[in-house]
Amino acid sequence: MNQIIITDSSLRDGNHAVKHIITLDQIKRYCQFADQAGIPIVEVGHGNGIGASSLLIGLSPNTDREMLTVAKENLKNSKLGIHIIPGIATIKKDVEPAIEIGVDVFRVATHCTEGTLSKSHIEYLKSKDKTVIGVLMMSALADTKTLVENAKTMQDYGADAVVIMDSTGTYLPKDVYERVSALKDGLTIDVGFHAHDNLGLATANSLTAANYGAKYIDACIRGFGAGAGNAHLEMLIPVFEKSGYELGIDFQKVIIEADKVMNYLVPSAPVSTPVNVLTGLNRLFSGFEKPIIKASKLYGIEYSSLIFELGNRKLVAGQEDLILEVAQKMKK
């Protein structure tokens, strides 16, 4: 059987869904469950990664140190992972403390065309003999050739694997096949895939990625994540096992917890709304849902028109402030 390594992003991507206010008690309880269920990697922190708590991006009620310390204390077998965006997270202020706390897996993420920005972070972490996974976000905004070039750049810096994120929930299975196959052919390191469910294909796309060579697959319990959410952990596990993959995760514990989390972590299970479908089709970050609705109401314009305009401008995560600006100009 083929071994797949699952990264559970519920405590990081899920933070997007609740405006980055996941509490220390929630982290503790979920990490205890994940550890007992045998989930290989548990990703924890602000939705935009370490160092991201701010008025512009979203304030967290807890520091990175507090969140990671609680997670590490409750992960005895599972590995602790973090999301790092160079330009937001600095080596001295953010990465070094994470190393001291005992983070196991460092995921260094850039926009899909800006892999060169990962150089200092990846090289520093490899100099400390850490496990480093390069991440190419918003990957639907780049063609396959560009993705492979940027993944190779991260490989050259020392990354142990490269994950591509369908941050916009845009891909069809054929798109996943094309990109993952090209990455497997072009790299000598492992490949991974992170799905969003805007078009209802997160699980199918994740399975396609695995079938064509991806080793690392991301998922969240109940799909808890930005916008339409991610691949559902409790759905992905049986689908993968029925397809002949070995995950090493206790499915019974996961399916029981999938009900329990609705009482302590997930306020409502993500569903793909018309807004999410439109952002997926227009290759816009899944987390834009709330700012788009707010701007459309404030300026009295149809959110569909706003989404098409934002898509034409190719806005990416971190440019939320421009949504209001574009809506204002459209109103005029």
Structure tokens at 129: 């003999």
Helix axes 303-313, 274-281, angle to 10 degrees: 20
Q: How many CB atoms lie within 10 A of CB 76?
A: 10
* Ordered DSSP codes for 5-28: EEEEEEETHHHHHTTT---HHHHH
Q: Catalytic pick from 16, 83, 111, 196?
A: 16
Nearest alpha-carbon partner for 116 in 163, 84, 156:
156
Per the CB < 8 A criterion, the answer to whether 150 and 142 are in contact is yes
CB contact set of 49 (below 8 Å; sequence gap of 6+): 12, 82, 83, 84, 85, 88, 89, 109
Is 83 one of the annotated active-site residues of the chain?
no
**d(C-alpha 330, C-alpha 76), whole Å:** 53
Q: Which residue has the tokens 């100099």?
A: 127
Secondary structure of residue 132 in the 3-state scheme? strand
Q: How many residues does the chain have?
A: 332
Q: What is the DSSP string of 31-46?
A: HHHHHHHT-SEEEES-
What is the C-alpha to C-alpha distance for residues 30 and 110, in angstroms, rounded to an integer?
27
Instruction: Please tell me the distance from the alpha carbon of residue 130 to that of residue 51, in angstroms, as a whole number.
Output: 19
CB of 17 within 8 A of CB of 48? no
Q: How far apart are CA 17 and CA 262, in angstroms?
A: 13
Please report, to the nearest 10 degrees, the dihedral formed by the alpha carbons of residues 125, 13, 11, 230 taken in order. Answer: -120
- What is the three-class DSSP state of 1? coil
Active site residues: 16
